[in-house]
Every structure is written in C-alpha cells, then in structure tokens.
Structure 1
Amino acid sequence: MQTIDDSLFQVSVDENGAKVAHLISVTDNYDYLGEEGTKEGTAIAFPVINHDNDWASKMPWTVVDKGDTRVSLTLIDTPKSYKKFPYHFEVMTTYALEGNQVEITFFLKNSSHKEMPFSLGFVLPNNWPTEEGINKISLNNGKHEIDVASTDFKLNVEEDHVTAFIDEIKLEAESSKTFALNLTLK
C-alpha cells in the first residue's frame, strides 16, 4: 500500500490494481470510501471494461515514482497478456494530491507497430445521493462531498458506483496519450 498526504487529506493506493483503497480527511478522520474503507476501493479497467482481458485488475502494477503528495504506478504488457491482447502497451497512473483535489492521470503508450483499440475506465464506489452536471458528478452525504470531473472521460452514475470511461477508441502505432480525472473532496 502506498500512501500520499498533505495537510488536508490522505490517499492510500493499493499496488494490486492501482486502486484507491482510502480517501481520508485529516481534519475529522473521515474515509470517503467508507468508515472502514471498502474492500474493493476504486477500480481501473484497461483495455476493455467488463471483459476477460481487463489487465488493469489482473496484472501487477509497479511503483515508478513516489513523493509526499504523488505516486505513479505502471502496468506493462507481458507475453501472457500479448497472447490475448496482441499489443505492446504501458499504462501509467498517477495520483497527485493538491489541497482538496486528487488529480488522476492516465498515460497510455502504444509501443506496437499497429493501431491499438482500447477502453479505459475508472470506477468509484458510491452509495451517496448524486447530482449530475456537464462533465461533473457531485456526491453528497450531507457533511462530506466528492465532485468527480473530467473533460476526457464520460461520467455516469450507476446503482452503486460512478464510472468514468473512454470507450472503444484507438491509439496510433508508436504513440501515447494522457487522460485526466479530478476528484474534489469537500
């Protein structure tokens, strides 16, 4: 478990799946993912959401950069993943804490000599009342609030979670792209 913090919040990231396990307010020790934390935490889906080839949850992530307020983890293809998803890829996810915001960036690199189709998703567990806006979803339980915002991802409220996803796009051969998602904690 990797932990980053500032004077307002503490974020714990599990290397298994590069998922956020805890989002804790330092002032009142409140965990936005549940008083006891959540067993599932957030989830990252790549290259396909709800599919057997969701390498983000099945393959090991490696911590490649760590500071007080940021941590970066990377996922790189393996011979086993290449057999089912015939592309050489790298996904680097960075969690950066600045004040009351957690910026989550996804750097995707296609190292193959051919175009790579993929989907990318981020799932935030939720059982709070929600309000949807353009490029933003607000979750509010009265005393605490989370705003999920992005211009890169399509945001959606499901029964017990919020999804941010980019569905069925293609990354040119030997190229890379960065996608961003922001969580504002109140």
Structure 2
Amino acid sequence: MCVKLENEIFKVEVAENGAELTSLKSKKNENEYIWTADSKYWGRHAPILFPIVGRLKNNQYRINDKVYDLPQHGFARDMKFQVESKSDDKVVFKLLWDEETIKKYPYKFELRVTYVLNGDTIEISYNVKNVDDKDIVFSIGAHTGFNCPVIGKQSEEDELKFNNYYFEFEKPETVGVSRLNGDSLLRRNTSPFLYASNIINLDEKLFKQGVLIFKDLNSKSISLKNNKNKSTITVKFDGFPYLGLWSKESGAPFVCIEPWFGHADFEDFNGDFREKEDGIKLEAGKEFTCTYSISINE
C-alpha cells in the first residue's frame, strides 16, 4: 500500500514496503520526478539503505566470532514499515527490530523515516534509536532515483535527452572520485575527477565504471539541470560525509543522487563489523538523526 501526501505544489506517494518514495509529481504540469522503477533498467524507486550501505565482503560480516549474512544495502528496503503518524503533508514510518532481523543483524533498534512537504521541498529524515543494552553499529543512506529526462509535457516539447542534463554542485570542487571493484567493494585509492569545477555533464560514458563516490565535499547540495529549460532538482545533503551518483552502466533514463552515512566494505576489510571505518557507533539509549531534502524549481 501507498501513503499519499499533498500540498499546494506536489502530490507524493510513499510505499509502506521499505518506506520508499515512489512518486513526486508536480500539480502545476504533472511532471513526475521520481524514477518509475522500470525493471528493464532498475526495479526500485528510492530505497532506504540500512543497516549497511553497499556490499559487504562476501556478503558477510562478523561480530564476536559469529558470522552473519547480509545482502547489499541491508534489509530495510524490503521490509514493511508501520505508519506511526500521518497528516496531509507529513508521514512518519517506523521499523522495529524483531526475531527475523536479529538473525541478520544482532542489534535491537527502532528506525523511523519521516517525509514532510514544505512548499517546493520534501524533507526526508532518518532516525535510528538504540533500544539495546549495548552499543550498536550501522550505516544508513538514500538511493533516490530521478527520471532523466523528467517525465512530462515540457520534456517532450523540449525533446530532452539524457545528455542534455548535467549535475551542478553548490560550490566549485577539487575532488577525486572513489570506485568499486568487480565485487562491488570499495577501492581505497581515488582518481582525479574535478578541478575547481562544479559541473558534471551527463553522457553515456559517465557511469561505465559504475557509481561515482565522493567524500567530504565542500558543497552541501547538488542540482540536476538541463540545457533546454529552467527545470531544476536540488538535493541538499548537509552533514552527510559521502555522496554517490549512479545510473546503469549500460545506460538508462534515470540518475540516482545518494547521500550516505557509510559505504561498501573496502577491498581489504577484515570483516569485523565493529571495526567498519564508515560505521556509526551508537550507545545504548541514544538516537541518531540525519536529514536530506529534494527541492523542485520549475
């Protein structure tokens, strides 16, 4: 089932399964901004990544000499969340630990995901509460897909194509990019990517080597723009240490903008979950909250 939100600008749908944003539609012109999850390319819209981001080495990790299996990006994206509260322009979902999650992830937690419409912006917050009697370790992140070109009348009239689009960081960046290896594990080295520039042009070659991973950017936001009209999607990710940009290596009419607290295991990682360099360590009874937002300028 989907929960519907609405304000003067947007109609929004969020699935109870995975608390996944499935539609962000403009009331002005019926533009659909969220990726359609066409399984020909990628069968998801905007999954939530928890309690890991990316892939583990051998899809396994270890705590106190016990080995656990956990698939890429964790389990939250495939679980049904409960609706804790709902109004016209806000919904709070919650996911609680249970006997099944303990088999994959031996920690007791509460995960809340909040969607709030505020004018031309939708804010998405993740709150993790440690309800265990010991420290817990986790990663969390977004994997939001956007139609590229945007689906709508204006895109058709302007004959927009994928290579009419570009990313624009808030500030000029001199930064390298990290890549995954053939096993989807993170290489420690980076490759030069931007030098005093804030523009990344989209073309068929950009994602041939997979996801682009950036760390500790100066920018707190990134925009998806095109060279034919003023339509702009802006994602603010203030506080997130990592940002992933991704589309299918074979080419597809979407791009993902992914703020992360965490990343795939390094190639040389020893498998001890409590030693994950990117892991968030949360004390018993404590909470962790992070927020990113999507703004649309038409």
Give me the TM-score of the superposition, normalised by structure 1: 0.92
C-alpha distance in structure 1 between counterparts of 2:104 and 2:21, whole Å: 27
Amino acid in the other structure paired with 1:2: V
What pairs with 1:13-92 in structure 2 (closer than 5 Å)? 13-34=14-35, 37-39=36-38, 40-51=44-55, 52=70, 54-92=74-112
Worse overlay, 60-69 or 37-46: 37-46
- Work out the CA distance in 2 between the residues paired with 1:84 and 1:42: 22
Q: Pick the aligned partner of 1:156 from 235, 244, 247.
A: 244
Aligned to 2:102, the other structure's residue is in SS state helix
Report the counterpart of residue 185 of structure 2 in structure 1: none
Q: Distance in 1 between matches of 2:51 and 2:88?
A: 30
In structure 1, how many angstroms separate the alpha carbons of the residues matched to 2:82 and 2:222? 30
In terms of mean alpha carbon deviation, does 153-162 or 15-24 score higher?
153-162
1:133-153 per-position Cα deviation (integer Å, ceiling 9, x unaligned): 301110124342211112222
Task: Quote the Cα distance in structure 1 between the aligned partners of 2:37 and 2:246.
Answer: 17
Identical columns (%): 29
Please identify which structure carries the higher strand content. Answer: 1
Give the letter aligned to residue 75 of structure 1.
L
Q: Which amino acid aligns with 1:137?
A: I
Quote the residue 2:281 is aligned against: 170
Q: 1:150·1:182 contact (CA, 8 Å) conserved in 2? A: yes
Superposed structure 1 runs of 4+ greater than 6 Å apart: none
TM-score of the aligned structures, taking structure 2 as reference length:
0.59
Runs of 5+ consecutive residues of structure 2 not aligned to the other structure: 39-43, 56-69, 149-164, 171-218, 248-254, 263-278
SS at match of 2:76: helix
Q: Distance in 1 between matches of 2:231 and 2:6?
A: 18
Structure 1: gaps spanning 5 or more residues: none
> Per-residue deviation at 1:50?
2.8
- The count of residues paired between Structure 1 and Structure 2 equals 184
Counterpart in 2 of 1:180? Answer: 291
Computed over aligned residues only, the root mean square deviation of the Cα atoms, in angstroms, reads 1.5
Cα deviations across residues 99-122 of structure 1 (Å, max 9, x unaligned)? 001011111101011111111010
Question: What per-residue deviation string (whole Å, max 9, x for no partner) do you get for residues 28-75 of structure 1?
Answer: 0110125xx334211100001234351211221111111000011111
Q: For 2:123, what is the secondary structure of its paired residue?
A: strand
Q: Please point out which of 120, 138, 148 is paired with 2:223.
A: 138
Q: How many Å separate the matches in 2 of 1:105 and 1:84? A: 24
TM-fit CA distance, 1:164: 0.8
Q: Which residue of 2 is the match for residue 8 of structure 1?
A: 9
Structure 2 Cα separation of the partners of residues 178 and 106 of structure 1: 6
Q: Deviations over 1:77-127 (max 9, x none)?
A: 111111221111011000000100101111110101111111101011144
